[in-house]
Amino acid sequence: MMKHTIRSAQEKSPRLLFGDTLTILFFVILAILLLNDKTRTIYVNLNSSHPYILGFLKVGILATFGEILSLRISKGKYSTPVGVIYRFIVWGFLGVVFVTVFELFFSGTKALLEKQLLPYTNNARTFFQAFYTSVLMNLIFAPTFMAFHRITDAYIDLGNGNLKKIFTTKFDDVLNAIDWRFFVKFVLGKTIPFFWIPAHTVTFLLPSNYRVLVAALLSVFLGILLSLKKRSVKLAEVK
């Protein structure tokens, strides 16, 4: 019996796939492009001249890719989420919003510090501005953004990725489909204070051209961590 349960757990654990090699290669190439002076300069110039287009593409591609990776970890194989095109569009729209919101809170926090409306020390002003920006953004904007994204995901899921069904899905059904208890207790209560505030503090210490990109990468990283945690819980239950 014990051998059977161990075998079952091993069968449920994802094995290395060809897609994993491509995934690793993708992130290696991304790192090389950002570390290379010429390609980094091209990226910075494009991001400065077309911030909304780059914001749409960066968040749309990376965050959607993060959802695919999460499914790979949980299911043991690569598959696309339901309505992947619509999820990409939603993520891309949020990327455009992030471009504005990041600048709004960073500049707003700077004004608060200049008017001495927030405590800080002169020799650590850069850190305090990054920290306060992260705190204010995650407490004021993040809950709204996260709830909006939960709702759009529910529309796509209930509509089974069909545009006509998505638009005919009732809002009450969407609200009932969302686990708001989990959303408040875990997503807001744990990921914001223990992950997003520290992570975005680091993000706002970076030059502005890299902040939205890093935020998108962080969402991929968090999705992978949560998927690994869920998988470990399932394996523990099997054993």
CA 77 to chain centre: 21
Closest C-alpha to 93, from 136, 142, 148: 148
* Residue pLDDT, tens place only, 64-117: 999 999 988 888 888 899 999 999 999 999 999 999 999 999 999 999 999 999
Both tokens assigned to 208? 């502005």
**pLDDT-based confidence at residue 239 (cuts at 50, 70, 90):** low
C-alpha dist (Å) from residue 201 to 87, 115, 131, 137, 193: 27, 21, 5, 10, 11
Cβ burial 174-186 (10 Å sphere, 16+ → b, else e): beeeeeeeeeeee
pLDDT at 5 over 50: no
* Residue pLDDT, tens place only, 32-45: 999 999 999 999 99
Mean pLDDT of 2-10: 46
Q: In sequence order, what are the residues at sequence separation of 6 or more whose Cβ sits closer than 8 angstroms to the Cβ of residue 197?
A: 134, 135, 138
Residue 232 has a pLDDT of 67
Cα–Cα distance, 130 to 171 (Å, whole number): 37
Where does 10-60 show beta strands of DSSP type E?
Answer: none
Residue 75 has a pLDDT of 83
Cα–Cα distance, 142 to 161 (Å, whole number): 26
- pTM beyond 0.85: yes
Tell me if 150 sits within 8 A of 136, measured CB to CB: no
* Residue pLDDT, tens place only, 187-236: 999 999 999 999 999 999 999 999 999 999 999 999 888 888 777 666 55
Residue 77 has a pLDDT of 85
